[in-house]
Amino acid sequence: MAAPLDSAPARPALVSIVDALPASTPFVGPEALERRFGRPLHVRLGANESLFGPSERVIEAMRQAALETHLYGDPEAFELRTALARHHGLTLDHVVLGSGIDELLGLFVRAYLAPGEIAVMSLGGYPTFAYQVAGHGGRIETVPYRDDRNDAEGLVEAARRVGARLLYLSNPDNPSGSHLTAASQLELIERLPPNCLLVLDEAYAEFAPADAIPEVSADDPRVVRLRTFSKAHGLAGMRVGYAFGAAETIRPLDRIRNQFGVGRMAQAAALAALADQDHVASVVAAVAQGRAEYAELARELGFAALPSATNFVAIDVATNACAKTLLASLLEREGVFIRMPGAAPLDRCIRVTVGRAEDRTVFAAAFRRVVACL
């Protein structure tokens, strides 16, 4: 029998990197908001999920895979990676899988950014990248948006000035919805400082115009490109992302990734989704129509929608105070979940996912009501 303790036991010491972090996560999920208010949301338009959902072919693949969920998924994801390599004209060694782009961001930070080293990103850009950098002891250098889009010249100049090891670029961009041209991105790549890796997050690539996607050699070790099944394919809840690039840059992630991080059903769903490009095309077309509807709604109410190459629209409501008021009113009074960018100059906007026609109708009516009360 253990001897009684004379005093309360001491908490095991956290490592210094984790102990210095704030007790926060990048996002407050809609489920947490439902618990806070004690009621379900009317519509969720803040997480950039695809409310169009997966195709019937994907649902059937998931039904079949459900019969085998007592088995681990293939840790090499051989069949899915083979299909992805074929889809992009690559070899198997160019592709690595992860449980969403968020996990892959953490893996690239862990592999290529030592504690104390610097990564560069846009101020107010996708917060999970900064979250991963801080969690692994790195430092962030930020560059403000210019004309409501990533400042390619400013980003590469900052990377050269501080000797950055990573440069993160979301293109098309979250949260602005804007995109840089392929030519601008290629110029950025050529000006990267030595030993700097461009982490090119292309989560919204399916929605982008052709001139937003650069042609970069798959064997260029300076660039890795990240894609996801969470947007146009409708599989956000499955958590499947992938990265592709030079084998010498990609394959080291096998040493540190979660070997069973993408489960059996998720792999089956992604494989079926990749094969159903007709569904992807129908979602992209519906989103384009929805973006036009949001732009017209913004004009009707005296606002302006920023041009978007994604499945969401940032609506410029002029001031941060107005954006905060609209965000809170839509959530508390209407049960409509949206988000807003977190830093100037884009924090004068609200950001709204393009949902189905019925979702857009709900948002439009709610938006009109809350604006009328301003």
Q: What value does the mean pLDDT of the chain take?
A: 96
CB count, 10 Å around CB of 127?
17
pLDDT in tens, 253-310: 999 999 999 999 999 999 999 999 999 999 999 999 999 999 999 999 999 999 999 9
Predicted model pTM: 0.94
Distance CA 325, CA 332 (A): 10
Separation CA 81–CA 356 (nearest Å)? 31
Six-digit token string for 259: 């070997």
Residues 6+ apart with CB under 8 A from 38: none
Q: Give tens-digit pLDDT for 311-329.
A: 999 999 999 999 999 999 9
Output the pLDDT for position 1: 57
Contact 265/64 with Cβ under 8 angstroms?
A: no
CB neighbours of residue 299 within 10 Å: 11
87: exposed, middle or buried (Cβ count in 10 Å: 0-12, 13-18, 19+): middle
36 near 29, Cβ under 8 Å?
no
Q: What local confidence, expressed as pLDDT, does residue 27 receive?
A: 84
> Which residues are CB-neighbours of 369 under 8 A, at least 6 positions away?
333, 334
Model confidence at 9, pLDDT cuts 50, 70, 90, reads confident
The whole-angstrom separation of Cα 236 and Cα 101 is 11
Domains of the chain listed by start with CATH number = 27-52+278-372 (3.90.1150.10), 56-275 (3.40.640.10)
Which amino acid, one-letter code, is at 297?
A: L
